[in-house]
Structure 1
Amino acid sequence: MRPERLTPHARDLTTRSLDWMDQQWDPEVGLLRAPEEPGGGNAPTGHLVRETGWYAVGLLARNLPARDDAEADLERARRALTRVLDHQLDAPGERFHGTWLRSPHEPRPTAESVEWRDYDPNWREFIGTTLVVVANEFPEALAGDLGPRVEAALRLAVEGSLARGVGAHYTNIALMAAFLLEDAAVRLGEPSWEAPALRLAEQVLARFRVDGTFDEYNSPTYYGIDLYALALWRRYARRPLLRDGGAEMESVLWRDTARRYHAGLRNLAGPYDRSYGMDLRHYASGIGLWVWAAVGRDLAPFPETDRPFRHAWDLALGPVVAVLGAEVPDDALAHLRGFRGERQVDQVIVREPRRVASSWVGERLLVGAEDVAGERGNLADQFHPATVHWLVDGVSGASGSGAGGLGGDGADVGWIRLVSDLTVDARAEGPSLTLTCSRHDGGDLAFAFHVRVPEAGLDGGRTARDVVVDLPFADLTTERWALPGLEVTLDTDAELVAVEPDPADDTWWLRYVARDVPADSPVRFGIALRAE
């Protein structure tokens, strides 16, 4: 694939992501260096194996002389692919057979190794599908012994994937696994692999068709991987089940995403089953890359790539997104280009145990909530069951069909998220939230609201019980928060006990406690929101 075959937006995405990756390339090691994560956090270190495979796709799509030396992009891509292949694990009978090291700096796993901590089983699907993209789009890159090495690597990856037997509910990995098995059945002459591929594809499709959604709901990073996998189904799959089913799910996924998207705030309304951040403009996300490919950089929910940004390694996926191409239904595309009016969005995620997402998309305000029916759901730090975004200043581009970006000098987005170790059922209804915690062991129950108010902050470090925190930009009491651009009114039996700065960034914690609560007695927050 030559650059002229890419759309202008896809070409721009490829160029900018390659500009960034060229700076991360380590010619001595033959891999990309891991970028530093602003503010620290759980970031990869050393060098990156998976992302180097994505870099190779970008080099092949560009296929122009590299800017740092005389080495051609084709030669660098071949070296990058060779180094990726060097880090696959060939260990028949072991749980990690066929996957890859995440970095050459981590030790090779043993029988005692712990999945996710010591190795990532999903690198089979991520890197395996990347190799299929290379084989389909750039077969000339696999001349010589590289072609047989790629086929051998795909065989190991499929063997490990079959032994693992990922479930249909693990959406992004199941989608990639079904495609990888279906492709390898023909590519490697293993017809017996087709049956498990079609079975997994049927299970994912049937599960999706119940309510038109995936288990990993509204996940900005993993929706990007879902769209990647569905584009593989749509573009390369041999069987109609995957080709047609991929196109069907891709269209529905775009429409559901568009319902919750605000082009003016350049953010998705919550809730987020899995998210690595609260503001898409400040960290790299998969969905941000796909919106970029669809409507261009200026309208995309993505940080500036010429300065440090969080989760930066995910920018490496950009060339693969560009090569596969975004196919967005026209009605969804309109929402990506400009705000299309206030709306309430309700969605059943799964029926047993029942989970329901609700969102309000207003001109200056986004509200998101998830009801898990009192069941203890995903309580990891990626799960955000109650969220708020609001426009702090400026105008939102509500009426202009092409006005996707924030208007006005100094306009920015503030946000709030609920954080608690307790199970909380949340409901968004218009510009309001209702939070209910009804399954617990009693006693003093803690809830926290993590808040970002751009360029203002809150004056913390003091106890807030029975006291008004009176600041030029914010008044905080148990029942009322007056924040720049947002008034929050709370009806609750819990009390605000502390306002604390987060030492890692410009955010703050508003901590509430409900005292001496009998076991399983409901604790509620009624939260009314008014964006100004």
Structure 2
Amino acid sequence: MRHERLTRHARDLTTRSLDWMDQQWDPEAGLLRAPEEPGGGGGAPVGHMVRETGWYALGLLVRNLPARSGADPADDAAEADLDRARQALGRVLDHQLDAPGERFHGTWLRGPHEQRPTTESVEWRDYDPNWREFIGTTLVIVATEFPEALDGELGRRVDAALRLAVEGTLARGVDPSYTNIALMTAFLLQDAAVRLGEPAWDAPALRLAEQVLARFRVDGTFDEYNSPTYYGIDLYALALWRRYAHQPLLRSAGAEMEAGLWQDTARHYHADLRNLAGPYDRSYGMDLRHYASGIGLWIWAAVGRDLAPFPETGRPFRHAWDLALGPVVAVLGAEVPDDALAHLTGFRGERQVDQVIVRDPCRVATSWVGEQLLVGAEDVGGERGNLADQFHPATVHWAVGSGADDGGADDGDAGPVADVGWIRLVSDLTVDARADGQSLALTCTGHGGGDLALAFQVRAPGLDPAGFAADRWALPGMGAVVQAEADLVAVEPDPRDDTWWVRYVARAVPADRPVRFALALRITD
């Protein structure tokens, strides 16, 4: 998969992501440096990045590897890229953990700053078990597309690393509801069964693939629902199934679920606002134009940078390390059904989207996609609480003014990109929410009583905090009538960014008595 064989949009994605990664390259460490996260934020990588260095190595091979005919490199730059890719892959392999019998066997350190785990180490905090799947699948792409880059000792080391990764993931036993990791695991197992001559690994691969497919077919959804970043990883894994899988089941199921995932994305997507309507089971931000997301990369590959929900890459942006996934997306290629593709290029009409996510416990997502307003909500059946800062069960996006501010140009069918305001609920309470047209209704149940707090984070250019009253909000471009069984207690700026916190408290609530809060929303001039 040489650079000139990519689509025009895929070439652009590869070029821009490589331009960014070239600036992060540390030749002494043989790894990419971690970028600074604007405004801080937990979860950002520090020091150097191992997983992303693997993606960089693939991009270098795509850019300048000589033709497979054995021709000499076209120029010094091609030879330099090949040498750097091999160096990068070697350094990635250096950070794998070979510890049979330990929970972290076969995974990788996230960076050289991490200490080797011990039996007392805490998963996710001290190491990430998912680096097996992320790096393992990347190595499979490199070995499949560019075997000539892995001649000699490097190729033997890649095979050995894949064996360790599979040993670790088999012992782990990934649950099929952990969608993005389960999809990658099934692919990795079945590929390694052939590549490494271990036919016994086919059975667990097929079993996991069948379980994920069965869950998807119930309601046409994944458990990790409407996640801008993890939908990008789902599409990555499904493209692996569709493109490289040895098993017919994975090839056909990959294409089926990939198409379904694009269609679900299209239902929630507003091409003019460059955003997905919520709710988000897992999300690292609220405005796709200002942070790097997996789904943003895939839309870029499908319709081009000018129409993509992605920040300007020439200046700092949040979650920037995910731009390193660009070459992988480009190599695998976006295959978007025509009906979904239409929604990626222009707004196709107002719609209400109601979707059962899973049935036990019952979770239902509802969304409104209007001409200038997006509303998202999730009813969690009173059983599912807050998932740290990634779970956004109640969201609003709306157009503020006109004219693009994201560094992109208008093209195709999409209209001018308005600035975007947004609201998200943040609460430790279990909240069942519903979006119905231009209204958002919340019900808090399953609580222990007492004083119950609800907070809303709000971002809108030109926002005046005096516009917030207990029963009415006046925001730039939008108004809201509030019906709340709670008192407005504070309107506070966030010192880290340009957002505001609007805090309500329901006083002395008896245990388990429902507390209700509703917003009736209206776009204003």
> For residues 77 and 9 of structure 2, what CA distance do their matches in structure 1 show?
27
The match for 1:41 is 41
Change (3 A) 1:31 1:342: same
The count of residues paired between Structure 1 and Structure 2 equals 511
The 8 Å contact of residues 104 and 168 in structure 2, kept in 1 or not, is answered as: yes
The match for 1:282 is 290
Q: CA deviation at 1:123?
A: 0.2
> For residues 239 and 329 of structure 2, what CA distance do their matches in structure 1 show?
9
The match for 1:382 is 390
Please, which runs of 5 or more residues in structure 2 have no aligned partner?
Answer: 66-72, 405-409
Q: CA deviation at 1:404?
A: 2.5
Matches within 5 A, 1:61-460: 61-63=62-64, 72-394=80-402, 402-404=412-414, 406-407=416-417, 411-454=418-461, 456-459=462-465
The match for 1:20 is 20
Which deviates further from its counterpart, 505-514 or 372-381? Answer: 372-381
The 8 Å contact of residues 273 and 378 in structure 1, kept in 2 or not, is answered as: no
The 8 Å contact of residues 441 and 519 in structure 1, kept in 2 or not, is answered as: yes
> For residues 31 and 71 of structure 1, what CA distance do their matches in structure 2 show?
18
The 8 Å contact of residues 457 and 506 in structure 1, kept in 2 or not, is answered as: no
* Structure 1 counterpart of 2:499, one-letter code: T
The 8 Å contact of residues 64 and 78 in structure 2, kept in 1 or not, is answered as: no
For residues 367-426 of structure 1, give each alpha carbon's deviation from its aligned partner in whole angstroms, at most 9, with x where no partner exists. 000000111334311000000000001289xxx99332534xxx3100000111100100
For residues 209-246 of structure 1, give each alpha carbon's deviation from its aligned partner in whole angstroms, at most 9, with x where no partner exists. 00000000000000000000000000000111100000
* Structure 2 counterpart of 1:225, one-letter code: I
- State the Cα RMSD in Å: 1.6
Q: CA deviation at 1:66?
A: 12
> For residues 375 and 395 of structure 1, what CA distance do their matches in structure 2 show?
42
> Does residue 521 of the first structure (1) align with residue 521 of the second (2)?
no
Q: CA deviation at 1:26?
A: 0.4
- TM-score w.r.t. structure 1 length? 0.94
* Structure 1 counterpart of 2:463, one-letter code: G
The match for 1:476 is 468
The match for 1:31 is 31
The 8 Å contact of residues 143 and 150 in structure 2, kept in 1 or not, is answered as: yes
The 8 Å contact of residues 339 and 401 in structure 1, kept in 2 or not, is answered as: no
For residues 318-357 of structure 1, give each alpha carbon's deviation from its aligned partner in whole angstroms, at most 9, with x where no partner exists. 0000000000000000000000000000100000000000
* Structure 2 counterpart of 1:365, one-letter code: L
The match for 1:472 is none
Q: CA deviation at 1:526?
A: 1.8
Q: Secondary structure at the match of 1:308?
A: coil
Identity %: 82
1:496 to 460, 466, 488: 488
Q: Secondary structure at the match of 1:72?
A: helix
Q: Secondary structure at the match of 2:453?
A: strand
Please, which runs of 5 or more residues in structure 1 have no aligned partner?
Answer: 460-468, 470-474
The match for 1:465 is none
> For residues 166 and 303 of structure 2, what CA distance do their matches in structure 1 show?
35
Q: Secondary structure at the match of 2:272?
A: coil
For residues 275-306 of structure 1, give each alpha carbon's deviation from its aligned partner in whole angstroms, at most 9, with x where no partner exists. 00000000000000000000000000000000
Q: Secondary structure at the match of 1:85?
A: helix
> For residues 309 and 364 of structure 1, what CA distance do their matches in structure 2 show?
25
> For residues 78 and 246 of structure 2, what CA distance do their matches in structure 1 show?
39
> For residues 68 and 27 of structure 1, what CA distance do their matches in structure 2 show?
17
For residues 109-141 of structure 1, give each alpha carbon's deviation from its aligned partner in whole angstroms, at most 9, with x where no partner exists. 011101000000000000000000001111111
* Structure 1 counterpart of 2:167, one-letter code: E
Q: CA deviation at 1:442?
A: 1.0
Q: Which ranges of 4 or more aligned residues in structure 1 deviate by more than 3 Å?
A: 64-71
The match for 1:464 is none
Q: Secondary structure at the match of 1:313?
A: helix
Change (3 A) 1:478 1:68: farther
The match for 1:5 is 5
> For residues 227 and 166 of structure 1, what CA distance do their matches in structure 2 show?
18
* Structure 1 counterpart of 2:421, one-letter code: G
Q: CA deviation at 1:458?
A: 3.6
* Structure 1 counterpart of 2:172, one-letter code: R
The match for 1:466 is none
The 8 Å contact of residues 385 and 431 in structure 2, kept in 1 or not, is answered as: no
Change (3 A) 1:494 1:214: same
Q: CA deviation at 1:457?
A: 3.4
> For residues 451 and 484 of structure 1, what CA distance do their matches in structure 2 show?
11
The 8 Å contact of residues 298 and 405 in structure 1, kept in 2 or not, is answered as: no
* Structure 1 counterpart of 2:423, one-letter code: I
Change (3 A) 1:530 1:90: same
The 8 Å contact of residues 419 and 447 in structure 1, kept in 2 or not, is answered as: yes
Q: Secondary structure at the match of 2:397?
A: strand
> For residues 326 and 208 of structure 1, what CA distance do their matches in structure 2 show?
20
